[in-house]
Structure 1
Amino acid sequence: MAGKLQSSSHPPSKAKAKAVAKAKAVAKAKAIAPDVPARIGQTPETDLRGLPDVFGRLVEDHDRHRALLAMIEATDGPSDERHALFEELVRELKSHAAAEEQALWSTVLRNPQTTEFARHAVAEHKDIDKMLDDLAARDMGKPKWMERFADLKEEYLHHIREEEQEQFTESAAILSDADRRHMRSVFERRKKEEKASAALTPKLKIKSIA
């Protein structure tokens, strides 16, 4: 009986750590615009959420970004809330991508087993960056802005789902626990530095005509 209770008591603690990490991430997004709902719904399941290493930290950021995307979608017109949330999203995504590349992908790129995963992730960072710049150059009060924002949201959610389900798990297999803990400290430092200098850089995509 005792053994049965012990085995059934372990999963909830892991589930609790995941829930706490997710709630913490959403709360950070909500702090930008407390009155805007953050309905992120179900997120892809991952055992990396809540871990005290670089992957747990990256997934925490992803959940924060999911909340920001949902909140922007819930705003109406060129409101102060939409402006504030979009500016925060831009600063978050740009600084997160730069710090992730420096803390994780710079190492993973050097391993033949994971080189392609790293290259793919970095290439998508550049595409998302261009979409952010394009949105920053447009009038967010127009319906077309929300259409382009929906494209960004779809692209980014696909990107982080791919990272969590494939690229991170493959990368985790070649890294030691010490590597992963060290990468978290590098990520924390670089993210703070990158976010301090991140800014909106309005630039229309050349192929855009409207």
Structure 2
Amino acid sequence: MSDQAQILTRIEEDHNRQRELLDKIAETSGDSEERRKLFEELNAELKSHAAAEEQSLYSEMIAEPDANDETRHSVAEHQEIDEMLNDLAATDMSSPGWLLKFKEFDHRYRHHINEEEEDHFPDFEKLIDDKTDAKLTETFEERKKIEKQEAEITPVAADDAKE
């Protein structure tokens, strides 16, 4: 096995792809076809990633006393991020408010994935043996594929979003 569990490396690969999408969206302007396409891709990527991560890694880590708090924290952040993403989807892309919300979303999401990688994954690494790693990675890949096919843009106005 490499220096890091395969499941954690695989999740970080997704994080890097998501960072690239965020960067590309930040370079767009207005209600352009490019912005819409990239946002749709980001939406499917983030929703499928979070679901697969929860159904693989976090379902295992929640049972570990040494990882329980970090796991609950990350899952709660997934919900907050999903609500922010849905609020962003409900905002007119040509409005100045969209870019402001996107920048806030970008900052919040990068904080989340950096926290996972820098704070949580080193702790999780100690709890994942080779057999568990293989099982988690397989589950992640299977669930990600299914969840990505089912991911939809679900606009929810900020008033309806959880505070």
Give the TM-score band, short-chain normalised: over 0.9
Q: How does 1:1-210 map to 2 (within 5 A)?
A: 48=4, 53-206=6-159
Whole-angstrom distance in 1 between the partners of 2:125 and 2:131: 11
- After superposing on structure 2, the runs of 4+ consecutive aligned residues of structure 1 that deviate more than 4 Å are none
Give the greater-gyration-radius structure (CA). Answer: 1
Whole-angstrom distance in 1 between the partners of 2:158 and 2:76: 16
- Contact between 2:61 and 2:68, CA under 8 Å: does it hold in 1? yes
Whole-angstrom distance in 1 between the partners of 2:160 and 2:101: 13
TM-score, normalised relative to structure 1: 0.73
Structure 1 unmatched ranges of 5 or more: 1-13, 15-46
Structure 2 unmatched ranges of 5 or more: none
Shift of 1:172: 1.2
Whole-angstrom distance in 1 between the partners of 2:139 and 2:160: 37
Whole-angstrom distance in 2 between the partners of 1:73 and 1:157: 13
Greater relative CO, 1 or 2 (CA 8 Å, sep 6+): 2
CA deviation digits over 1:162-189, x for unaligned, max 9? 0000111111111102211221111000
RMSD: 1.5
Determine what percentage of the aligned residue pairs are the same residue.
45
TM-score, normalised relative to structure 2: 0.94
Instruction: Give, as a single letter, the amino acid of the residue that structure 1 aligns with 2:74.
Output: A
Shift of 1:206: 1.5
Shift of 1:125: 0.1
- Contact between 2:91 and 2:97, CA under 8 Å: does it hold in 1? no
CA deviation digits over 1:80-117, x for unaligned, max 9? 00000001101110110000000010110011111001
Aligned length: 160
Instruction: Give, as a single letter, the amino acid of the residue that structure 1 aligns with 2:15.
Output: H
Whole-angstrom distance in 1 between the partners of 2:131 and 2:119: 21
